[in-house]
Structure 1
Amino acid sequence: MTKSKQLASRLREVILNGTWIANTNIKDQIENLDWKIATKRVESLNTISILAQHVHYFVVGIKNVFDNGKLEIRDKYSFDFPAIESQTEWEVFQKKFWNDTEKLAELIEKMPEEQLNEDFVDEKYGDYLRNIEGMIEHSYYHLGQIALIRKIINA
């Protein structure tokens, strides 16, 4: 299996369908969660919906680099989202999250191996490999938070 295919598989694993590292994935944690639970604040922690939207923000940002060569996301905006105010909004968001993740995984799979070592938009951001692996690791970090918040809420 090529490195590109391995990376695509790891992305799908953490967000869509895996259980190898954490015995769960983001989709498994939030797919059947009521929007009121997903938006419930626990002390000063981010809500489950905010964490999911945050991960999605980076998925879309990296996907856009593949699509148009531009990095249009900024860390300072990565937690700024309109409130989810209904089950329908929560489900629409999730569908977009799953679709964007799958599209990004497909782009990564098709990526020539040489491109993994090329600059990601600009030399200061490192190469494609570092950014893709970083996004996967970052997603696992927030998956852990989501799982812990669910346990606190008992959802």
Structure 2
Amino acid sequence: MERNKELANRLNEVLLNGAWIANTNFKMEIESLTWLQATKKMGNLNSIAALTFHVNYYLGGIVNVFKGGALDIRDKYSFELPPIESASDWNKLIKDFLVNSEKFVEEVAKLPDSKLDEAFVDEKYGSYLRNIEGVIEHCYYHLGQIVLIKKMIPPMTDL
């Protein structure tokens, strides 16, 4: 299998349709939550909404680069979640996340093999391959957090 297709399959698995590594994926986990559950803070942990925003922030920023744009994202803004005050707000974040996830998978699948070994924006960031693999690892890291936080959230009757 071509490297771009293999990477796209791994991204699809963690973001949208898989269950091989973690027995779940982002889409499955976030679509099963109400906005109250998604925004519930457990101790000093990030909320699931904040983690969803965080991953979405990076997906959108890197998709912009794939489409020829600048790398405009900054770590310091990656948790600046706008207020989620309704089901509509939460559903918009889910929709944005799913759209960016689909675009990200599509863009990776289209990358020519030679592009994977090129510098990503600047040599200091490493190659496209390193960055895409980093996104996969980053997604699994935060997916694990979401799964654990969901287990800690009280039942809806207690929210």
Per the TM alignment, residue 87 of structure 1 is displaced from its structure 2 partner at its CA by 0.4
Q: Does 1:48 align with 2:60?
A: no
> Does 1:131 find its partner at 2:131?
yes
Structure 2 distance, partners of 1:3, 1:26, is 23
Q: Quick one: percent identity of the two aligned structures? A: 57
SS in structure 1 of the partner of residue 67 of structure 2: helix
Partner of 1:26: 26
Post-superposition Cα deviations, 1:41-98, rounded to whole Å, max 9, x if no partner, equal 1010000000011010110011010112411101111111211111011111111111
Partner residue, 1:59: 59
Moved more, 17-26 or 67-76: 67-76
**Deviates further, 127-136 or 80-89:** 80-89
Query: Which runs of 5 or more residues in structure 2 are unaligned?
Result: none
Structure 2 CA distance, aligned partners of 1:154 and 1:5? 40
Aligned to 1:68, the other structure's residue is in SS state coil
Q: How does 1:4-153 map to 2 (within 5 A)?
A: 4-153=4-153
Mean Cα displacement is larger for which, 45-54 or 89-98? Answer: 89-98
Shift in Å, 1:100: 1.2
TM-score by length of 1: 0.97
Deviates more, 1:120-129 or 1:65-74: 65-74
Residues 14, 139 of structure 1: 8 Å contact kept: yes
What's the TM-score once normalised by structure 2's chain length? 0.94
* Backbone CA RMSD of aligned residues: 1.0
- Structure 1: 5+ residue stretches without partners: none
Partner of 2:2: 2
